[in-house]
DNA sequence: ATTTACATGTAAGACGTTACATGATTCT
DNA sequence: AGAATCATGTAACGTCTTACATGTAAAT
């Protein structure tokens, strides 16, 4: 039941409406950890409220309801986060493609690795810039732990793709665009 | 429909029965990329055969049926692996917990990061040893790309956890068990 | 006025997990 | 003889995605 804890976790950061949570999933969690559509979020918020783990703290225009986590909700969230689950759910279509690289012929593998190296470089630089900006604005260190992990993951992916490209072609480096050399 | 392509990918490496695939998911894919129970695998093999993407190549004891990927299966697998899907499914309960670290108090966060640093170190060393052993036995480079990526992910996780511990406690290093210093 | 963004909700169908169900072969 | 492993299959239930459905408020 990770959806429940993902929602609870987002509410622990700050009170939010179902609509807000949808955007938070999209921006913060979707690419790394979890995703949920609004059709899952709204019913889950109702259940959390029914179970006393969250509560409506504000009603706004267009039927907007802002929820906040309750004390019981924090207890449950802490229990789950610290629970050493040795069988965590992992589903990653992107990693799956990388793992199936060995089923391609060399030229296809090269193409995919080049795309991968470039894509992860872009992601890395964008995340790193965001972290630098937040650091300059004196954001609290813990608030940036997740972003830092994301940045490091992309850097690792970038380095791995270049390493693999070199292994595929022992003679040509990954950055050889110049005709000389 | 990633289950289909995960199965197809495993069959592309070598022919296998549903039972074999179950163990391959468990050992090779579950922790990084995808998982499937036998109750999903057997029906999917039937569908792959019905669609001409896989075929039974051997029948053994206890009703065992070994499947192999067909030429059409390879075409479909290649199409999917090279398809730049910009909305890949990601679900990672482990990463989700790490992202929710900031909702814990400092002492809880410290405990979790220590556990994380230790766990990822163990995983890294075990994977690295397996890669070294395979390299010594002259395994083809591509066959080790996935394992190398896994190892690098764990190393990144380990380094990140130690980095985060230092940030949490600017005075004490992560490995300070001695009373002196 | 019109478009865009905000805001919530339900239903059908696909996908995934857990439990139920059965039996053969191999190892000790 | 008994236990462990191999081997396949279905059913019930829970989760997730996609589509359907509706309406308000803000911006241009």
The reported pLDDT for the residue numbered B172 is: 62
Instruction: Give the one of A30, A91, A152 whose C-beta lies nearest to B34's C-beta.
Output: A91
Q: Residue A179 pLDDT > 50, yes or no? A: no
| Chain A residues touching residue B156 (CB < 8 angstroms) | 152-153, 155-156
The reported pLDDT for the residue numbered B85 is: 84
Give me B121's structure tokens.
């170190």
Rounded CA gap, A5 and B97, in Å? 9
Give me A169's structure tokens.
């072609």
The reported pLDDT for the residue numbered B169 is: 85
Give me B3's structure tokens.
């289950």
Q: Residue A155 pLDDT > 70, yes or no? A: yes
CA dihedral B96, B102, B108, B114 (to 10 degrees): 70
**Local confidence band at A172 (pLDDT 50, 70, 90 cut-offs):** low
**Local confidence band at A1 (pLDDT 50, 70, 90 cut-offs):** confident
Q: What is the mean pLDDT of residues A82-93?
A: 91
pTM recorded for the entire structure: 0.92
Whether A149 contacts A162, CB under 8 Å: no
The reported pLDDT for the residue numbered A121 is: 98
Q: Rg of chain A over CA atoms, in angstroms?
A: 21
**Local confidence band at A181 (pLDDT 50, 70, 90 cut-offs):** very low
Task: Return the DSSP state at B172.
Answer: S
DSSP A99-159: HTGGGS-HHHHHHHHHHHHHHHHHHHHHHHHHHHHHHHTT--GGGGHHHHHHHHHHHHHHH
| Chain B residues touching residue A27 (CB < 8 angstroms) | none
Q: Is the CB of B19 inside 8 Å of chain A's CB atoms?
A: no
Q: What is the mean pLDDT of residues A7-30?
A: 97
Rounded CA gap, A123 and A32, in Å? 12
Residues 53-72 of A with CB under 7 A from strand C: 60-65
Residue B166, H or E segment: helix B145-168
Residue for token pair 């986060």: A81
Whether B123 contacts B154, CB under 8 Å: yes
> What is the greatest pairwise CA distance in chain B?
69
Whether B112 contacts B104, CB under 8 Å: yes
**Local confidence band at A129 (pLDDT 50, 70, 90 cut-offs):** very high
The reported pLDDT for the residue numbered B173 is: 53
The reported pLDDT for the residue numbered A84 is: 85
Rounded CA gap, A37 and A34, in Å? 11
B62: nt with nearest C1' to CA: C24
DSSP A37-56: -HHHHHHHHHHHHHTTSEEE
Give the residues of chain B that fall short of pLDDT 50: 174, 176-181
B91 touches strand D (CB under 7 A): yes
Give me A53's structure tokens.
């783990």
Hey, is A70 helix, strand or coil? coil
Protein footprint on strand C: which nucleotides are under 7 Å from a CB? 6-12, 14-19, 23-26
Rounded CA gap, A20 and A24, in Å? 6
Tell me, in Å, how far CA of B1 is from C1' of D21? Answer: 28
């Amino acid at each position: 039941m990770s959806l429940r804890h993902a929602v609870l976790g987002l509410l622990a950061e700050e009170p939010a409406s179902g609509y807000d949570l949808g955007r938070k999933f999209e921006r913060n969690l979707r690419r790394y950890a979890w995703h949920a559509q609004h059709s899952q979020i709204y019913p889950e918020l109702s259940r959390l409220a029914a179970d006393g783990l969250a509560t409506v703290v504000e009603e706004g225009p267009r039927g907007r309801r802002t929820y906040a986590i309750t004390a019981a909700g924090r207890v449950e969230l802490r229990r789950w986060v610290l629970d050493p689950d040795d069988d965590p759910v992992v589903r990653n279509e992107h990693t799956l493609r990388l793992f199936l690289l060995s089923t391609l012929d060399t030229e296809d593998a090269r193409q995919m690795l080049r795309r991968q190296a470039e894509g992860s470089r872009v992601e890395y630089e964008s995340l790193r810039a965001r972290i630098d900006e937040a650091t300059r604005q004196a954001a609290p260190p813990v608030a940036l732990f997740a972003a830092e992990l994301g940045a490091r993951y992309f850097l690792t992916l970038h380095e791995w793709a270049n390493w693999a490209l070199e292994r595929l072609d022992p003679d040509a480096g990954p950055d050889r665009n110049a005709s000389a050399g």
